[in-house]
Amino acid sequence: MSIFEIFSILIVLSALFAYVNFRFIKLPSSIGLMIIALVASLIIVLTGKLFPGTVKDIIELLQKVDFSKLLMGSMLSFMLFAGAIHIRLDELREQRLAVLLFSTLSVLLSTFIIGIAVYYLLPVFHIHAPFIYCLLFGSLISPTDPIAVMGIFKEVKIPKSLEMKIAGESLFNDGVAVVIFLTIFEVAHQPESSVSFVQVAGLFLREAVGGIALGIAIGYLGLLLMKSIDNYKIEVLITLAIVMGGYSLANFLDISGPLAMVAAGIITGNQGKKVAMSEITKDHVVKFWELIDDILNSILFVLIGLELLLINSITAYLFAGSAIIVLVLVTRYISVWLPSLLIRFHEKMSRKTLFILTWGGLRGGISIALALTLKPEMMSQLWVSLTYMIVVFSIIVQGLTIGKVSK
């Protein structure tokens, strides 16, 4: 089956599920699509047990879709840029300390707290995993997902300052999380190799600082090009070139593509709108990227729901997964509470605020994509199963209730 045929099937399913959700279920689109896809997966599994062999073609089709490569290699660039162009720079400056601490220190704290706790918790469920693999799991489950967060926050009402803290953190913490994940992955893959602090610092500087610098550069280059013309079709095309060309260049230079897209998106959405775009161009750019974001979000959450068909071992880890969901929530609270002690010198942060930050820290496709990169000898089935359970709980339970919790 060709790539076009696979993509066509995903679009058809996304359109069908989106229609059913909008017409009958009326949930926030991201949550509704994933629930319908999960139900469809369960129906397919039950059908397969009653009529063995009927689901073989469906599973083979899903196996051809490399979820990790699809998300991290292409979809993520479009979705991060689409989210970043809506970030108000003045609001981000007001919350810069919170965003900085939550996207760096919180991720680091969460990685080690979860890794250590999981190492001692799993034997209770008769599961034994090396400590380095537990840390690897801690690093991939710690970052909040900008796609899940911003997709759901479009449709729920929470205070603007809180939304900026959570959305800003989720956009920027990818670079830190990926650096931590890659470092631990290197140690786990080659236990005999030694990774020094200098190597880790160099990796971080190249990935994070290099990514942001590239994003600023291509953002301003696009701004200069758009400023010199007044044609909304060409200007929309320039924003598309920023994303596709910029992300490809970041991968070639081995720096953080996600951070480059966030930086370029913020410049385009702020300076670009102010000095380089007419009202007609602004309207077309915003609508174009909203449409791209909605289409890719639909495909992503349908894929997350259908991924259940490929995880054969999930029922074996239900009890362990339930316990680790609670652990992840408790760790999230600790990892935002400790940095908040520093923030309180500048602004008041109540326990209610910390609770909403905890409940609003959704996990999503990025965690699943990182888990799927693990090798079988790293106990990948265990970590993929646990990650999937946490992501599904996060998006459905936390995503559906964050508005009510905020009120």
pLDDT at 348: 65
Q: How far is CA 321 from CA 127, 207, 297, in A?
A: 12, 32, 26
Give per-residue pLDDT as tens, 140-179.
Answer: 999 998 877 777 776 666 777 788 888 888 888 877 888 7
350: alpha, beta or left, given left = phi > 0 and alpha = psi -120 to 50? beta
| The pLDDT of residue 345 | 58
Mention the CATH class of domain 67-406: mainly alpha
Residue 364 tokens read as 């999503």
What is the structure's pLDDT at 284?
Answer: 97
Q: What does the block give as tokens for 246?
A: 């910029």
- pLDDT at position 56 is 78
pLDDT, tens only, 255-269: 989 999 999 999 999
Residue 193 is predicted with a pLDDT of: 62
Q: Specify the pLDDT at position 346.
A: 58
pLDDT score for 124 = 96
> What pLDDT is recorded for position 160?
75
HEC readout, the chain: CCHHHHHHHHHHHHHHHHHHHHHHHCCCHHHHHHHHHHHHHHHHHHHHHHCCCCCHHHHHHHHHCCHHHHHHHHHHHHHHHHHHCCCCHHHHHHCHHHHHHHHHHHHHHHHHHHHHHHHHHHHHHCCCCCHHHHHHHHHHHCCCCHHHHHHHHCCCCCCHHHHHHHHHHHHHHHHHHHHHHHHHHHHHHCCCCCCCHHHHHHHHHHHHHHHHHHHHHHHHHHHHHHHCCCCHHHHHHHHHHHHHHHHHHHHHHCCCHHHHHHHHHHHHHHHHHHHCCCHHHHHHHHHHHHHHHHHHHHHHHHHHHHHHHHCCCHHHHHHHHHHHHHHHHHHHHHHHHHHHHHHCCCCCCCHHHHHHHHHCCCCCHHHHHHHCCCCHHHCHHHHHHHHHHHHHHHHHHHHHHHHHHHC
40 residue type, one letter: A
**pLDDT below 50 — which residues of the chain?**
none
pLDDT in tens, 38-90: 999 989 888 877 776 767 778 888 888 889 988 988 899 999 999 899 898 99
Q: Domain residue spans in the chain?
A: 67-406
